[in-house]
Structure 1
Amino acid sequence: MTSKKKRAINVLQFAICIVALGLLYAIWCHFSALHIPCLFHHITGWYCPGCGVTRMCLAILSLDFDTAFYYNKAIFILLPFYILIGIKYILLYIKIGKISFTQIENIGLIISIVILLVYGLIRNILPYNYF
């Protein structure tokens, strides 16, 4: 078996595990009131940039994009960028076995992190329903 084929099988196995765990968690959340709590919010009382992502993902699975946007506006907007970067690097890993970011991709990722940090601050300053 070629190393390219091995890498593709490894990626597929990993993806199947992640999807299975995600679906199990979605089913768990749907049938129970128990969710994984945000430790940052629990300790500080502030909403982190990732607060609401579980509810956002559940809303996306229900094709309720308005509600998904409401739960976490920043990650909802950045999600296509992250998906495209992820797909590109999965394919690159399968093809050549290593990953290296271009300067533009590094800048894009840094900008997205800054956006998330600013969003985390703003959502705690302005009323939560607004932002």
Structure 2
Amino acid sequence: MLTGWRNLSVDPAGRRLLIRGSLIACAGLLYLLIWLPLTDIGIPCVFHLVTGLYCPGCGITRAALSLLHGQVAQALRYNPLVFTLAPMYAVYWLCMRLQHRRAGRAVMAVMLTLTIAFGIVRNIPIGDFLAPTIID
């Protein structure tokens, strides 16, 4: 059931998928660990540039970079939603993998609701602590 990943290295299509995934992961690490520190050219948030508001994803790149450097508290300050959605996405994936479609759709609805609520709350005065900031 969940041990089918071993067949990826045998099946040519699975091997291509594994290679592509590995290349994408390596490219992401190169971007975060080499390109950003050398150039200081990050990915700007178009929503924030146009509206001045923080979208639910603002701070995710900085949070990932902080996590790669072992700075969990700082990553939480940049975007705490990631720490909520990552385990929920794992539950969603497991539900869909085990053919529990109804439970998977429910988890996805909760994730969507949390994302929208987070995007709203982080832009009102009572939720300003959710804005992506640096720990002093």
Shared fold by TM > 0.5? Answer: yes
1:21 equivalent to 2:20? Answer: no
What residue in structure 1 maps to residue 52 of structure 2? 45
Q: 1:25 to 1:83 in 2, by over 3 A?
A: farther
- For structure 2, list consecutive stretches of 5 or more residues without a partner in the other structure: 1-6, 131-136
Higher relative contact order (CA 8 A, sep 6+): 1
What residue in structure 2 maps to residue 10 of structure 1? 16
Q: How far is 1:83 from its partner?
A: 4.2
What residue in structure 2 maps to residue 69 of structure 1? 76
- For structure 1, list consecutive stretches of 5 or more residues without a partner in the other structure: 93-98
Deviations 1:71-100 (A, max 9, x none): 0011222212224545x49xx5xxxxxx96
Q: Which amino acid aligns with 2:82?
A: I
Looking at structure 2, the residues matched to 35 and 128 of structure 1 have their Cα atoms a distance apart, in angstroms, of 25
The two structures have a TM-score, normalised by structure 2, of 0.76
Identity value in percent: 30
Q: 1:28 to 1:47 in 2, by over 3 A?
A: same
Q: How far is 1:128 from its partner?
A: 6.7
RMSD: 2.7
The two structures have a TM-score, normalised by structure 1, of 0.78
Count residues in correspondence.
Answer: 122
Give the conservation status (yes or no) of the 8 Å contact 2:63–2:79.
yes
